[in-house]
Every structure is written in structure tokens, then in C-alpha cells.
Amino acid sequence: MKFVAVSSCPTGIAHTYMAAEALEQAGKAAGHEVHVETQGAAGSTPLDPQLIAEADGVIFAADLEVKDRDRFAGKPLVDVGVKKAVHDPTGVIAMAVAAVEQGIVPAQATRGAARGSGSGPATKVDMNAPVGTRIRQWLMTGVSYMIPFVAAGGILIALGFMVAQAAWGNTGAIEVTKVSVTDLVANFNVLSGRDWAGVLFHTGALAFGFLVPVLSGFIAYGIADRPGLVPGFVGGAIAGAIGAGYLGGLATGFLAGFLALWISRWNVPKGVRGVMPVVVTPLLSTAITGIVMLVVIGKPIASMMSGLTSWLNGMSGANLILMGALLGAMMGFDLGGPVNKVAYTFAVTGLATEGLTAGAVQYRVMAAVMAAGMVAPLAMALATFVRKSLFTHAERENGKAAILLGLSFISEGAIPFAAADPWRVIVSSVVGSGATGAAVMAFGSGQIAPHGGIWILPLITSPFGFFVALVIGVLITAAIVVALKSMSPSPIAVAEEAADEQAALVGQAA
């Protein structure tokens, strides 16, 4: 059979492409032809319409609403989450085959006006899911659109600091913050390192200025669709202006979303319906959000943010190491899942705190989270090289890919191992990742860029300590997983090892 598929995950970084590869390989192994369109952070190349026309069925492995899904109308469809395709691609292919054989075309496959099927921003919120699941989906919608701003802004600021230190010396990180944007525009000198430092720093700082509005705006969008965007963005801007930070952005995102949803559902006269989406809904929802934020909840939330910042900056010694261990363990627990994302989001949003100094705890938190998130895939790769006999052929191949994924701070590189042997891999990952988080804090490494892994090592303060902490966690995790697997080797791995030995003996005899 021929299948076309679309994969997408909230961040569009790892699961999107892992699901695509898994489906293609599982389809090939089962004798089917699978073509996948990846709707990831790097954009997407639409499937050839001829491939869609010739396809027997369609697979959606998506946590966001599929763009232009009406292209697939009339085809048997399987719609699963992206993690299902990563963990059980063979099962997904079997489901797709069954859907084709039964000839069942789900109603949602023929929707012409499906949410997210047009050119607007994509999101996927199951309104029939439990309340807790929907809250997580709304939050992840905001976080997924915020991350590119964080990555671009953080790396630009870090590069600005690097150039500033070359131009001013040790005080460069302080001096560049004093450079006026107005002076840069009026007197920019292409040969001046100080001016280039100012350009990089201020560009990154302006990108960071969008973090809270984007977070708030797309939480509201996840709740109310387009009517939520204006009050969400404005509410986030107010949160930033009064110092309420990301906590304020979370509050305004939900407030604006539910207000916009409620107002857009009013039963109004026909003469008013035309102006509801462009005038009435954004006007009323924005006004109410602004009033509530400025008059009622803004000041308490700003005080909470101030207290949280003071608490973080006041931490030292054993308390910081304990925090690093906790955050590291969370990063290693579910490898890109909800717990991992909580730790990562905590670190990322901390970077948006105003007035951070060069050695702020928030930067150390980010470094601890990043290093810990790199441990599991690198450790699994190391283990497959050290004790090949404990792993299947497929796991050994996954180990090769996990090297690049781990170095790039993509924790999901360890998911194939965790899916095949959950408790051994997760226990090992939690212990090793926690050790790395604690070590990063102990060594005092800091990181202003929220992504990039080993490739942005020059942007990390105390890079040697960061590297040593990473190595410590990788060695611990690899040692534990090898020890646990040695106690009870995988039957498949044992059988494959025996087959390899037999083949080797036959080859020698020949």
C-alpha cells in the first residue's frame, strides 16, 4: 500500500523528524510505501499532490493541527499523537492498513474549515480531553511559539557579550548594556567592535521583549483561536511593562483566551455579527484584560515575580546544587515529555527576568537544564559502544544518531531506548542527569542561550566546568544502564549476538 503522512510536535524540533523517520522505516519493513511531510520548526515542504492522489491512506502523527488538512479529504485516515509514531511506528502502520481495508473515512478528514487548516498559526487542542490535558495543550501552544524568540534573542545577546568583552575587556558585558539604540542608529561605525556588540545585544534584547506577549498571545489563541490573539498579546505586553513577567503572561493568556471565547459566542443581532470579530471581540476582551491586569491582579503578580527573583538570586551553596539536581532529574525523567518541558520552561522564562546581571542564578539554571538534557542520548550512545552485546542492532544504529542529537541538546534522542526498556533507561537517566545538573551548579557555569548544546560552548561561562559536569552525568548514566541490563539481558539482543557469533564461525570455516 501507499501512504502519505504528516508529522508535527509542539516545538517542531525533535519528535517531528523522529516520527517521520520511524514511519518511513516501519512502512518499508512492512512492505508499504510511506511519504512524510514534516511540519516542524524549519518549515515544511508540502507533499506532491500526485503522491496524495495515489495514496491509499493518510497518517497524521501530530500534536499540532495539520496545516491544509483538506488536501487529504476523502482518504482513510489515522490520527495519532507524534509520540505514538515514535514509540510504536509498526502499530501506527498497522492501524493505517486496517483503516484502508475497512474503507472508513473519518468525518474530520473531510472538514473544509478545520481549525488550523488554513494559513493561520497551527495548534492542536482536543476540546473533548480532560481539563488537565487541555490546560497542558494550551500552555504548550504558548511555549512552542515562544521558544524561537528565546533561542534567537538569547544567542544574539550572548554573541553581543562576547564581542563586547573583546572590544571593552573584562567590563564589556556591563558596558554594552549602556550603549544607546539612538546613538547606534545615528553614529554606527562598521569598523567599531563596540558598535557591533551593541547591535547584537540590542537586537537580542528586543527579541526577548516579545517572550511574554508571545507566550500570552498564543495561550489565548489555543483557547479562543484568532479572537484571543489581540487581548493575549496586549495582556502579555502589560505583564512585561509592570514587571509581572512570565507569571503575568500565563495569567493574561488564560484570562484573555476565555474572555475572547465567551464574547465571540454571544448571540447578537445580524447587523452586529459582521463587526464582532474585528471590532467588538478584540475591543472588549482587550479592554477587560487590561483593566483586570492593571487594576486588580497585576501588582500581586509583580510582587510574586520580584520575590521569586530575589529568592533565586539569594540562593547559594548547597541550595543551588540541590536545585540543579532536581531540575536535572526532571530533564532526564521523560526525555522531552511534560516533566522535562516544565524544567525547561522554568529555565527559559527565567532568562526573560529584567535586570539580570552577568552572574545571575537564572543563567546557571539554564546551563544546568541544558547540560542535563544532553546526558541521556549521549549516555545511551556510549553504552551501545561499550557493551554492544546488551543492545539490539536497531538500538546500536539509534546510538549512532543519538550522538548528534545529544550534542545538540535534543533529549528525545534517548526515546527509542526508553521505549524498549523503560525502567532501566529512565532510572539511569534520572540519576545521571541529576548529577550533571548539580555539578553544573557547583562549577558555576552559566548560559544565556536556551538551546544549541555543545555547539554554543563558547557562549557558556565556565565552559570547562560545563563540559566536565556533562561528562560526569554521561559516565554515570552509561554505567548504570550497562549494569542494570547486564543483570537481565534483552532476549532479542542475546539472540542477535548468538546469530552474529554463528555467522562469524561460518565465515571462518568457509
By C-alpha distance, which of 156, 345, 324, 170 is closest to 245?
345
Distance of CA 181 to the CA centre of its chain: 32
Distance, in Å, from the CA atom of 125 to the CA atom of 164, rounded to the nearest integer, reads 44
d(CA 291, CA 238): 10
Other CB atoms within 10 Å distance of the CB of residue 170: 8
149 Cβ contact partners less than 8 Å away, ≥ 6 residues apart: 207, 208, 210, 211, 214
- CB under 8 Å, gap of 24 or more: what pairs does 192-198 form? 192/167, 193/163, 193/166, 193/167, 194/164, 194/167, 194/168, 196/163, 196/167, 197/160, 197/161, 197/163, 197/164, 197/167, 197/168, 197/172, 198/160
Residues 4, 5, 6, 9: which is the catalytic one? 9
Of 450, 430, 211, the C-alpha closest to 339 is: 430
> What's at 157, amino acid-wise?
I
- With beta carbons less than 8 A apart as the criterion, state whether 69 and 401 touch: no
Distance separating alpha carbons of residues 27 and 505, to the nearest angstrom: 33
Of 201, 209, 159, 153, the C-alpha closest to 180 is: 201
Phi-psi region of 449 (alpha: psi -120 to 50; beta: other; left: phi over 0): beta
Q: Are 432 and 480 in contact (CB under 8 A)?
A: yes
Answer for the pair 218, 145: CB distance below 8 angstroms, yes or no.
Answer: yes
Q: Is position 450 annotated as part of the catalytic site?
A: no
How crowded is residue 482: how many other Cβ atoms within 10 Å of its Cβ? 19
Cβ–Cβ < 8 Å for 141, 438: no
C-alpha cell at 468: 566536565
492: which residues sit within 8 A by CB, 6+ positions away? Answer: 392
Q: Which residues are catalytic?
A: 9
